[in-house]
């Protein structure tokens, strides 16, 4: 009897505690919401959606899920934000930054939501404090694009997709393009800020190599352009991951010449059709041929009737010229591939981004069929031997579901010094490897992640010793911040940015010393923890001195 009473007491007590806890979690948000309202411009009312204990706005989950592009992070176990601000105006971004910083609440910035680790909309709860609360600043409504044909530039807001940018360029000019990724739904914000690449990388470099100006809102709520931010910060947000420095509102990019007719092509071979010899030769050719040609190699495991499990190699890509010229070039440099005119399709540059059988309006589609996905990357500095390739094929056949993508560098990439932008993987690099694995059901996650790690470990013998990695393929297994220390950040920072990491840290320490703009793989501040005290005291101090509000 007595024990059941004390059990009841315990139960009541814990219910009370739980409700207190809930209240206290909601009470975090009251001052934040008040602050948002205070900073909103009545002409442009600020819209946000809540999932608080006491109040849930019904559209919350559809707003959250609209830009979740990896089903791994659609599950209920992924930490959920409490508030999503859907910015429609510069003042909304300012309000989000100011209210987040002064209330010491973590903010995630989302443009297209394609981050491989969901870093723009979740907190990695496998490592961090499960009670952490955060909000999302969602940029998808900020998607204006202005083209200046005289200057051959486009000013594009970061919530636009690459497809929207491509479409706008293509419907303005037949002979201009922009070198960026091949997936039209990718967001401009994450892509350019992280140093994205596409089919024209060998001719024009990365998307971030073609930025001439930017508008960024920094931790004190000020909007800066290239002149007012200075060349250091402007350097950092072209490949160093802009989310460590501020919210980029727009990038102004240089458009590049493209011919009216380009050629896409594809030649598929199986192991039995000499893939080993072809891949061996590809290493010589693809990074060291005319920069008009981007010849990538996609590899996966096929189950054929005749041969059973085999490697399927697809040699494909883009040529900035006619099919006739391409065939001539390849029959000279790579006759073994046997590319024929029948393997080519000629079309406009915009068409090449949606494929021959779709209207270019498909570039505007924001729909995306997400799957469960994990990606990792490596860089190759010396050719792999034929025996080496045989080993890789055996490993792939054993693992079955892992796909390898080889993207050649060279061309323009060789000519840009490693310190020109934060992106360092240039002169010694022959090609980049992406390891990708997709799966269909949540319970296949562990086995799939293990496979991804197994191929990555196996490849150590063939790739750069320091395991340099491609930042836009964000990979939390390279290490993440728990305490936001310099030492933690160095682990992944050197892999993504090489020695440029140190300059990024210097810049970060100057423009965001209080580390408001942080995430699992953000650039750390020099030797201190990621608290907000410095910013708060800075704000109070200046407010006192000048007798007016520092921010806004």
Ligand X SMILES: *[C@@H]1O[C@H](CO)[C@@H](O)[C@H](O)[C@H]1NC(C)=O
Ligand Y SMILES: Cc1cc2nc3c(=O)[nH]c(=O)nc-3n(C[C@H](O)[C@H](O)[C@H](O)COP(=O)(O)OP(=O)(O)OC[C@H]3O[C@@H](n4cnc5c(N)ncnc54)[C@H](O)[C@@H]3O)c2cc1C
Residues in touch with ligand Y (CB under 6 A): 69, 108-116, 119-120, 139, 158, 181-183, 186-187, 189-191, 193-194, 196-198, 242-243, 247-248, 472, 519
Among 14, 65, 415, 537, binds ligand X (CB under 6 A): 65
215: which strand partners? Answer: 250
Q: Select the binding partner of residue 536 from ligand X, ligand Y, none (C-beta < 5 to 8 A, by kind).
A: none
Rank residues 71 and 262 by Cβ distance to ligand X and give the closer one.
71
Among 95, 96, 218, 459, binds ligand X (CB under 6 A): 218
Residue 455 half-sphere exposure toward CB, CA atoms < 13 A: 31
527 binds ligand X (CB under 6 A): no
CB of 75 to ligand Y, least distance (A): 17
Contact (CB, 8 A) for 210 and 256? yes
Measure the CA–CA gap between 450 and 454, rounded to whole angstroms.
Answer: 6
Rank residues 408 and 472 by Cβ distance to ligand Y and give the closer one.
472
CB of 404 to ligand X, least distance (A): 21
Rank residues 214 and 262 by Cβ distance to ligand X and give the closer one.
214
Among 480, 511, 525, 535, binds ligand X (CB under 6 A): 511
136: which strand partners? Answer: 84, 108
**Where would I find the H helices in 46-139?**
60-66, 90-102
Rank residues 273 and 300 by Cβ distance to ligand Y and give the closer one.
300
Count of residues engaged in binding ligand X, rule: CB under 6 A: 31
540 binds ligand X (CB under 6 A): no
Q: Strand 134-138 vs strand 106-110: parallel, antiparallel, or unpaired?
A: parallel
Measure the CA–CA gap between 285 and 326, rounded to whole angstroms.
Answer: 13
CB of 359 to ligand X, least distance (A): 26
Report the first-to-last Cα separation within the chain, whole angstroms.
63
Contact (CB, 8 A) for 286 and 183? no
Residue 409 half-sphere exposure toward CB, CA atoms < 13 A: 22
Measure the CA–CA gap between 96 and 93, rounded to whole angstroms.
Answer: 5
Please calculate the CA angle 195-198-201 and round it to the nearest 5 degrees.
80
CB of 9 to ligand X, least distance (A): 26
Footprint of ligand X on residues 66-105 (CB under 6 A)? 71, 74, 76, 80
Q: Select the binding partner of residue 128 from ligand Y, ligand X, none (C-beta < 5 to 8 A, by kind).
A: none
Residue 74 half-sphere exposure toward CB, CA atoms < 13 A: 18
295 binds ligand X (CB under 6 A): no
Rank residues 141 and 485 by Cβ distance to ligand X and give the closer one.
485
CB of 545 to ligand X, least distance (A): 11
CB of 331 to ligand Y, least distance (A): 29
- Long-range CB contacts for residues 165-170, cutoff 8 Å, separation at least 24: 166/350, 166/353, 166/363, 167/350, 167/360, 167/361, 167/363, 167/364, 169/255, 169/350, 170/348, 170/349, 170/350, 170/360, 170/363
Phi and psi dihedrals of 333, rounded to 5? -90, -25
Q: Select the binding partner of residue 114 from ligand Y, ligand X, none (C-beta < 5 to 8 A, by kind).
A: ligand Y
Q: Select the binding partner of residue 248 from ligand X, ligand Y, none (C-beta < 5 to 8 A, by kind).
A: ligand Y
> Quick check: helix, strand or coil at residue 351?
helix
CB of 548 to ligand X, least distance (A): 10
* Residue ranges that bind ligand X, judged by CB under 6 A: 51, 60-61, 64-65, 71, 74, 76, 80, 126-127, 148, 150-151, 218, 220, 222, 225, 227-228, 274, 277, 288, 336, 370, 449, 482-483, 488, 511, 550
């Amino acid at each position: 009897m007595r024990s059941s009473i004390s059990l009841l007491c315990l139960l009541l007590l814990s219910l009370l505690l739980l409700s207190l806890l809930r209240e206290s979690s909601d009470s975090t948000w009251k001052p934040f919401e008040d602050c948002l309202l205070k900073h909103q411009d009545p002409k442009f009312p600020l819209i946000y959606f809540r999932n608080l204990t006491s109040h849930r706005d019904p559209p919350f989950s559809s707003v959250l899920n609209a830009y979740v592009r990896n089903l791994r992070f659609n599950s209920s176990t992924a930490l959920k934000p409490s508030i999503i601000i859907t910015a429609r105006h510069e003042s909304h971004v300012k309000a989000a930054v100011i209210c987040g910083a002064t209330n010491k609440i973590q903010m995630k910035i989302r443009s297209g939501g394609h981050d491989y680790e969901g870093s723009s909309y979740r907190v990695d709860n496998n490592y961090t404090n499960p009670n952490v609360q955060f909000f999302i600043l969602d940029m998808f409504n900020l998607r204006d694009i202005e083209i200046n044909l005289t200057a051959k530039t486009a000013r594009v807001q970061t919530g636009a997709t690459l497809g929207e940018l491509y479409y706008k360029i293509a419907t303005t000019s037949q002979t201009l393009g922009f070198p960026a990724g091949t997936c039209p739904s990718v967001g401009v914000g994450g892509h350019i800020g992280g140093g994205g690449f596409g089919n024209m990388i060998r001719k024009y470099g990365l998307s971030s190599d073609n930025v001439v100006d930017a508008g960024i809102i920094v931790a004190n709520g000020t909007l800066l352009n290239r002149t007012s931010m200075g060349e250091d910060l402007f350097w950092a947000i072209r490949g160093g991951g802009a989310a460590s420095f501020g919210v980029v509102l727009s990038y102004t990019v240089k458009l590049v010449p493209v011919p009216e007719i380009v050629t896409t092509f594809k030649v598929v071979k199986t192991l039995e059709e000499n893939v080993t010899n072809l891949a061996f030769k590809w290493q010589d050719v693809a990074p060291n041929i005319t920069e008009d040609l981007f010849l990538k190699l996609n590899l996966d495991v096929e189950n054929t009737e005749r041969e059973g499990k085999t490697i399927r190699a697809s040699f494909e890509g883009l040529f900035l010229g006619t099919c006739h010229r391409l065939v001539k070039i390849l029959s000279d440099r790579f006759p073994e591939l046997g590319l024929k005119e029948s393997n080519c399709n000629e079309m406009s540059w915009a068409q090449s981004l949606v494929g021959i059988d779709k209207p270019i309006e498909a570039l505007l589609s924001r729909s995306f069929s997400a799957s469960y996905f994990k990606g990792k990357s490596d860089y190759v500095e010396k050719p792999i031997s034929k025996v080496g390739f045989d080993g890789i094929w055996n490993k792939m056949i054993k693992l079955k579901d892992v796909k390898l993508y080889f993207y050649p560098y060279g061309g323009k990439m060789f000519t840009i010094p490693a310190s020109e932008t934060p992106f360092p993987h240039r002169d010694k690099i022959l090609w980049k490897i992406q390891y990708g694995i997709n799966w269909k059901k949540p319970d296949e996650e562990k086995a799939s992640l293990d496979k991804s790690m197994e191929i990555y470990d196996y490849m150590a013998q063939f790739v750069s010793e320091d395991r340099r990695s491609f930042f836009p393929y964000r990979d939390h297994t390279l290490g993440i911040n728990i305490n936001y220390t310099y030492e933690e950040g160095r682990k992944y920072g050197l892999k993504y940015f090489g020695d440029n990491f140190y300059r990024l840290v210097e810049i970060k320490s100057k423009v965001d010393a209080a580390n408001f703009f942080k995430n699992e793989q953000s650039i750390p501040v020099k030797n201190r923890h990621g608290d907000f005290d410095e910013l708060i005291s800075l704000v109070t101090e200046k407010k006192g001195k000048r007798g007016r509000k520092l921010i806004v």
